[in-house]
Structure 1
Amino acid sequence: MNRELIVRSSSQAVDFALLKDGKLTELHKEENSNDFSVGDIFLAKIRKPVTGLNAAFVNVGYEKDAFLHYHDLGPQLSSMLKFIKQVSTGKLKDYSLKNFPFETDIDKNGVITDVIKANQSLLVQIVKEPISTKGPRISSELSIAGRYLVMVPFSERVSVSQKIGSKEEKDRLKRLVKSIKPKGFGVIIRTVAEGQKVAELDKDLENLLAKWTAMCKKLYRAQTPSKVFVELNRASSILRDVFNDSFTGIHVDDATLYNEIKEYVAEIAPAKESIVKHYDSNVPIFEKFGIERQIKTSFGRTATMSKGAYLIIEHTEALHVVDVNSGNRSNKAKNQEDTALEVNLLAASEIARQLRLRDMGGIIVVDFIDMVKSQHRKKLFEHLRDEMKDDRAKHKILPPSKFGLIQITRQRVRPEMNIKTTEEDPNQTGKEVEAPIVLIDKITVDLEKLLKGPAKDNSITLNIHPFIAAYITKGFPSLRTKWFLEYKRWIKIQPRDAYTYLEYRFKNKDGKTIY
């Protein structure tokens, strides 16, 4: 399995596309104007505690106040407030916490007005970016993420990622981290730490401590609200979270960003530094790697799959609904049950991809094709769970209900990726139509059905608008030539002036429309 990260830079934003064997699996956008990214830490001011919500609204500098629930304060809130007060006034200049006396933990079922007051300053971290009309969601339980470790100040706990299966490896990592962990800091051992030596873990921990020290220095006489810690840029954070030996290329079209990423990769994986390449060509980088086409075909209300199957994805205020359709497909399955299983397994893989690609969060309800056999429903559930193992967002999948529905909850920390895939109708109807690039994919899918279906036609003519006909036949190798090489059949193209731009029909040798 080969993975590539493609980075496109513009004056307004930076786009990141993660490819797995050439297929688009994740798409991220980092806008230059976004000052409230997940992981950023602010010295904020309590605006108003609300007893009824057991929460407080906090001024972090955003146009809307951030929301801080009591359960997000963290047990060591009293210690943190004491630390902030001493550091901001200059009384405490040792930021290591080794000699800092901790206060008693707050009651986990307490009332917010008992522990914080209006106009009080405290450190908060963005855990969910502003979405729609809501301000950011924040937490006072701080954490600073590194490559292998996550450091948690005002704690002594050491925990290991549940994704590390071996108990022996978990015990080894815990033992190593406890031997190097500074007093006053807890540590979460990440999945990528599996198999790493103590030197690598210690280096990562030293980097995290340096970041903590730099943040604390900003607290002295800092105004509220102000940002005191900036999370890595999106490219570096993606690499930090997903980078492994399967990466074969990182392509960047901006020289400055290229140098930043190359420097970061050299730090976390020196042996892989050579895979970072500066892309310099007149062809846009997303077109070169086929990403634009995949974006057009993957976003929108309908997401197509192989052999004619497709998904309908609807969004409401409360949840997302996905409907699985077999389409007008032909297959070699013996019966309807086997067909349903085949389509459902295909759909499960595509749904897992779509959730990551669109960064859909909240409640997702999937209406799979009904299956009678319980073993088939179990197989589908296990397959969907396996497909979502690579999803970095926290999620939970419930088994199929009696109605064949599968419910998924998925963590939402950023606005959903929403890309417009329709374009203005070239026939000047005032409406919008699917992008022409999607049309070519549809024609190819329909052609495959005709050539590989049970009722194969020996002679097929594609009737289509002259502009599209020219696109299919011109150049070398032309699209028609590619069809010939794949299907071993020559398709006759018949331009039709009377057709609209996106209209097409397949006809047999008798001139009868067959699709």
Structure 2
Amino acid sequence: MVKELIIDSTPDKGVTIALLQDKQLVELNTEQVGNNFSVGDIYLGKIKKIMPGLNAAFVDVGYEKDAFLHYLDLGPQVQSLLQYTRLVKNGSYQEKLLNSFKLEKDIDKAGKISDILTRNMLLPVQIAKEPISTKGPRLSSDLSIAGRFIVLVPFSSSISISKRIKGSAERSRLKKIVESIKPTNFGVIIRTVSEGKGVEELQKDMLDLVSKWEIFTKRLKSAEPPQKVLGEMDRASTILRDILTDEFTHIYVNDSTIYEETKSYVQEISPDLEKIVKLYKHKEPIFDHYGVEKQIKASFGKTVNLQGGAYLVIEHTEALHVIDVNSGNRIASKENQEDNALLVNKEAAKEIARQLRLRDMGGIVVVDFIDMHKPTNRKELFGYLRECMADDRARHTILPPSKFGLVQITRQRVRPEMSVVTNEKCPACGGTGEIRSSIVLLDDIENNLSFILQEQNEKGITLSVHPYIEAYIKSGFVSRRVKWFFKFGKWIKITSNSSYHLTEFRFFNAKEEEIKL
């Protein structure tokens, strides 16, 4: 599988990152300008309100609405975090790490938040979910700092290993390595990508994370709520950290600053792949050049067409997402109805797995597949859907088809769903449904030509129009262009642009710069 990353940076829209697998768009991430609440950011929060009925608290982290912190998200070692925060703030604890720090007792899993937190208390918290819809951020005080191969968890001593690492010998090897390099009173989560990695790579990652913890401690001492104490990396670096493998062949960036940052980061985490980072310099928009924009327009929207003639209808509600599978004009020539339904459903399952990643749809998703009567076919479809979603980095659960043929999926929701408007306002009429009479179009062009040539005395003029208009201007025994030559004494170059609407036209000078009228 060939993977590519296309990074598009624009001043107004921020940074948009497209992940392609075998030239097909599978993920689209946007880092909005001014988004200060990314998953993984750590803030010094201030408890604003305790809600015993919800067993939760509302915390001020600087967002327009107070963030939500549930008792179950406090983490077992929240008492240690509170004690550490007090000691660092008053200057009683001077060490950078936790070697001499005495851990507090774990809190009761079935306890009450009012026994742990009080109003106006200061507590470091981490963004678990970005603000979504009308809700503020969701928080956790079970802090963790993610690296490429491992995750560092303060106030703990446990070592956890990704379930995707299956071999018992490999699990044992990784655990021994981490036990020998981890600092005191820190727990570690070993990520899937660490499989097969040596001591040097894991230790380098550990040192980077320890350095971040030291930065957190230094900033915490002087921080005032609701200040960000430790920020997660930018979205591009986060994606590279989580998914960069030898399968990547190209990373294209259209911004020189982000290019240097990306190249530096890739060189740091995987020096062998530094050469795949390229700076895009063409005039054409980067997403247009690599076919991403076309895929975005085709993939988002209410209806998604499949190759075989079938299609999906995707509806979004406040509570859940609903996907309906339709066979469309697909013709079952040799297959019977049951076999044809299975083929359509498997084709739809593959696209649904892609759509969930592409739109970052979270929460509850209900899929209405085409009815199948054979239990073996329903079982095969269920297994195929799970296989298609195996590469999805978001935590998810898939239930077997119900007796009504519905498949329910729950998928981790940590940031707002990616939404792209695919319907465009008509550029010719501006949405009114009416355009200027085409009979006066050539008079408008000729009047503008007269002004440019006689008043502005421009030379080497190029007229760019819709292909239909180009053909009309050039056609005939005495074409309109020849008439202009006799009238103005200058030959006008005519080019076409299929992206123009029928009555759109533009003039360019000899330097290929557009002449503003």
The alignment's TM-score, normalised by the length of structure 2, stands at 0.83
Structure 1 residues 280 and 44: CA distance shift in structure 2, 3 A: same
Q: Match for residue 113 of structure 1?
A: 114
How many pairs are equivalent? 440
Structure 1 residues 334 and 277: CA distance shift in structure 2, 3 A: same
Q: Match for residue 100 of structure 2?
A: 99
Equivalent AA in structure 1 for residue 232 of structure 2: E
Report if aligned partners of 1:424, 1:431 keep a CA contact under 8 Å in 2.
no
Q: Match for residue 498 of structure 2?
A: none
Q: Match for residue 235 of structure 2?
A: 234
Report 1:173-252 matches (<5 A).
173-252=174-253
Report 1:19-418 matches (<5 A).
19-418=20-419
Report if aligned partners of 1:249, 1:275 keep a CA contact under 8 Å in 2.
yes
1:32: how far off?
Answer: 2.0
Q: Distance in 2 between matches of 1:281 and 1:428?
A: 31
Summarize deviations over 1:348-403 as a string: whole Å, max 9, x none.
Answer: 00000000000000000000001111111111101110110111111000000001
Q: Match for residue 460 of structure 1?
A: none
Tell me the secondary structure at the aligned position of residue 127 of structure 1: strand
Structure 1 residues 222 and 345: CA distance shift in structure 2, 3 A: same
Equivalent AA in structure 1 for residue 6 of structure 2: I
Q: Match for residue 7 of structure 2?
A: 7
Structure 1 residues 468 and 173: CA distance shift in structure 2, 3 A: farther
1:333: how far off?
Answer: 4.0
Q: Distance in 1 between matches of 2:419 and 2:60?
A: 28
1:332: how far off?
Answer: 4.4
Tell me the secondary structure at the aligned position of residue 19 of structure 2: strand
Q: Distance in 2 between matches of 1:121 and 1:109?
A: 23
Summarize deviations over 1:164-191 as a string: whole Å, max 9, x none.
Answer: 1212111111111111111110000000
Identity of aligned residues (%): 58
Q: Distance in 2 between matches of 1:280 and 1:426?
A: 28
Summarize deviations over 1:197-235 as a string: whole Å, max 9, x none.
Answer: 011111100100000001110011321111000101000
1:64: how far off?
Answer: 0.3
Equivalent AA in structure 1 for residue 9 of structure 2: S
1:120: how far off?
Answer: 0.4
Q: Distance in 1 between matches of 2:250 and 2:124?
A: 38
Q: Distance in 1 between matches of 2:345 and 2:92?
A: 63
Q: Distance in 2 between matches of 1:333 and 1:262?
A: 53
Summarize deviations over 1:103-148 as a string: whole Å, max 9, x none.
Answer: 1111111111111100000110000000111000000000000000
Q: Distance in 2 between matches of 1:470 and 1:365?
A: 49
Tell me the secondary structure at the aligned position of residue 87 of structure 1: helix
Tell me the secondary structure at the aligned position of residue 307 of structure 1: coil
Tell me the secondary structure at the aligned position of residue 424 of structure 1: coil
Equivalent AA in structure 1 for residue 231 of structure 2: V
1:429: how far off?
Answer: 9.8
Tell me the secondary structure at the aligned position of residue 424 of structure 2: strand
Structure 1 residues 286 and 100: CA distance shift in structure 2, 3 A: same
The alignment's TM-score, normalised by the length of structure 1, stands at 0.83
Q: Distance in 2 between matches of 1:342 and 1:86?
A: 63
Structure 1 residues 427 and 310: CA distance shift in structure 2, 3 A: farther
Q: Distance in 2 between matches of 1:238 and 1:392?
A: 11
Report if aligned partners of 1:72, 1:139 keep a CA contact under 8 Å in 2.
yes
1:425: how far off?
Answer: 4.5
Looking at CA atoms only, which structure, 1 or 2, has the larger radius of gyration?
A: 2
1:261: how far off?
Answer: 0.4
Equivalent AA in structure 2 for residue 127 of structure 1: A
Report 1:496-511 matches (<5 A).
none
Runs of 4+ in 1 over 4 A off after TM superposition: 425-432, 467-471
Q: Distance in 2 between matches of 1:380 and 1:71?
A: 36
Tell me the secondary structure at the aligned position of residue 85 of structure 2: helix
Task: Flag structure 2 segments of 5+ consecutive residues without an equivalent.
Answer: 434-465, 471-500, 503-517
Structure 1 residues 468 and 307: CA distance shift in structure 2, 3 A: farther
Report if aligned partners of 1:307, 1:330 keep a CA contact under 8 Å in 2.
no
Summarize deviations over 1:65-103 as a string: whole Å, max 9, x none.
Answer: 000000111111111111001111111110210110111
Q: Distance in 2 between matches of 1:77 and 1:332?
A: 64
Report if aligned partners of 1:89, 1:221 keep a CA contact under 8 Å in 2.
no
Q: Distance in 2 between matches of 1:248 and 1:148?
A: 21
Q: Distance in 1 between matches of 2:361 and 2:469?
A: 39
Equivalent AA in structure 2 for residue 6 of structure 1: I
Tell me the secondary structure at the aligned position of residue 334 of structure 1: coil
Q: Distance in 2 between matches of 1:40 and 1:74?
A: 17
Q: Distance in 1 between matches of 2:426 and 2:207?
A: 58
Q: Distance in 1 between matches of 2:332 and 2:264?
A: 50
Report if aligned partners of 1:308, 1:327 keep a CA contact under 8 Å in 2.
yes
Equivalent AA in structure 2 for residue 167 of structure 1: S
RMSD across aligned C-alpha pairs, in angstroms?
1.8
Q: Distance in 2 between matches of 1:431 and 1:124?
A: 50
Q: Distance in 2 between matches of 1:290 and 1:470?
A: 27
Q: Distance in 1 between matches of 2:468 and 2:349?
A: 35
Tell me the secondary structure at the aligned position of residue 422 of structure 1: coil
Summarize deviations over 1:261-316 as a string: whole Å, max 9, x none.
Answer: 00010011101100000000101100011001000000000011102111000001
Tell me the secondary structure at the aligned position of residue 363 of structure 1: strand
Structure 1 residues 375 and 70: CA distance shift in structure 2, 3 A: same
Tell me the secondary structure at the aligned position of residue 220 of structure 1: helix
Structure 1 residues 186 and 431: CA distance shift in structure 2, 3 A: farther
1:150: how far off?
Answer: 0.3
Q: Distance in 2 between matches of 1:288 and 1:28?
A: 18
Q: Distance in 2 between matches of 1:373 and 1:394?
A: 30
